[in-house]
């Protein structure tokens, strides 16, 4: 059976937990993969891991918030490969803050708005740069990453729920504009992967004495809503990304692929 992404060129922004999982899945399915990220150590580790598994990918230190850097990066990719088929942005916020675990009334507006501004800026910058290179060929897939609080009411998630909801709204609008020009736009919608715990914890308001109790509330609420009784693994996320980027999902656009164990399907 032919690989899902054979002869495709894919760009992934972010070499963290999710970005790495998606990049590995794209390589496994035959794509030529370019990963852009801010951290040199994470990029080197990802390249090493892929080589250990018998594959290869290219990496570049690029800030997804920098439009000129993104444009130059994609120019290089297209010059080298002649095409851009898939763009996946797993970049979220580049600044400390966000303070998940704090109540809304405990936040400054700056902390509340930080993830909203950063998530939407990264997705807007990378998606529009990709679209400019996909529409002349009338084909391509742009994918974004969101999470359960975009749709399920979770307390103490600060500005992250509104940020993910804004990304989904942006994706739907972009899909409506790009669909007639042959480009699909999708979101992967996750409940949070247990094996990405470090990434999740980096957004927490760790100095709050109430944080452990509030995290327990999240766990209890997740248990009530999750039909499978488990969160998605990073491998699940990568597999879904590869499938949705492939021609087997050619009729899907302007929607989200659910990886929440059914939390947002009821």
CA distances from 258 to 30, 79, 115, 248 (A): 24, 35, 22, 17
Q: Which tens digit of pLDDT belongs to each residue from 53-67?
A: 999 999 999 999 999
Phi, psi dihedrals of residue 114, rounded to the nearest 5°: -55, -55
The pLDDT value given to residue 206 = 84
Residue 157: pLDDT over 80: yes
Q: What is the CATH number of the domain that holds 240?
A: 3.40.50.720
**Within a domain: 172:** yes
Residue 265: pLDDT over 60: no
The pLDDT value given to residue 218 = 83
**Within a domain: 258:** no
The pLDDT value given to residue 85 = 98
**Within a domain: 68:** yes
Residue 108: pLDDT over 80: yes
Residue 104: pLDDT over 60: yes
**Within a domain: 263:** no
Helix axes 160-178, 109-134, angle to 10 degrees: 20
CA distances from 205 to 17, 99, 219 (A): 20, 4, 17
**Within a domain: 191:** yes
Arithmetic mean of pLDDT, 118-127: 96
Q: Is 226 exposed, middle or buried (0-12, 13-18, 19+ CB in 10 A)?
A: middle
**Within a domain: 180:** yes
**Within a domain: 257:** no
Return the minimum-mean-pLDDT range out of 153-162, 194-203, 217-226. Answer: 194-203
- The residue segments making up the domain with residue 148 are 9-248
Return the minimum-mean-pLDDT range out of 61-70, 174-183, 256-265. Answer: 256-265
| Most confident of the ranges 191-195, 226-230, 260-264 | 226-230
Residue 172: pLDDT over 80: yes
**Within a domain: 17:** yes
Arithmetic mean of pLDDT, 217-231: 84
CA-CA distance, 11 to 26, in Å (whole number)? Answer: 9
Structural domain count, the chain: 1
Which residues does residue 143 pair with via DSSP β-bridges, in sequence order? 88, 186
Residue 169: pLDDT over 60: yes
The pLDDT value given to residue 198 = 67
Arithmetic mean of pLDDT, 15-28: 96
DSSP state letters, 55-70: ---EEEE--TT-HHHH
């Amino acid at each position: 059976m032919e690989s899902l992404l054979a002869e495709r060129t894919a760009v992934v922004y972010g070499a963290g937990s999710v970005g790495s999982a998606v990049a590995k899945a794209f390589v496994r399915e035959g794509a030529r993969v370019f990963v852009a990220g801010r951290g040199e150590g994470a990029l080197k580790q990802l390249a090493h891991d892929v080589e250990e598994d018998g594959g290869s990918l290219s990496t570049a230190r690029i800030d997804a918030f920098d439009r000129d850097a993104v444009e130059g990066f994609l120019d290089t990719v297209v010059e080298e490969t002649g095409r851009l088929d898939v763009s996946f942005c797993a970049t979220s916020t580049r600044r400390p803050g966000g303070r998940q675990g704090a109540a809304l009334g405990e936040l400054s507006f700056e902390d509340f708005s930080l993830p909203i501004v950063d998530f939407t800026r990264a997705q807007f910058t990378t998606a529009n740069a990709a679209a400019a290179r996909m529409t002349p060929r009338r084909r391509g897939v742009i994918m974004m990453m969101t999470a359960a609080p975009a749709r399920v009411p979770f307390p103490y998630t600060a500005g992250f729920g509104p940020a993910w909801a804004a990304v989904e709204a942006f994706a739907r609008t972009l899909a409506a504009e790009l669909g007639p020009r042959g480009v699909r736009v999708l979101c992967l919608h996750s409940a949070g992967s247990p094996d990405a715990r470090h990434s999740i914890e980096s957004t927490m308001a760790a100095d709050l004495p109430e944080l452990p109790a509030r995290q327990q509330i999240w766990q209890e609420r997740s248990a009530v809503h999750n039909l499978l009784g488990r969160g998605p693994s990073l491998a699940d996320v990568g597999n879904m990304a590869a499938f949705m980027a492939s021609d087997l999902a050619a009729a899907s656009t302007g929607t989200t692929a659910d990886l929440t164990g059914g939390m947002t399907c009821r």
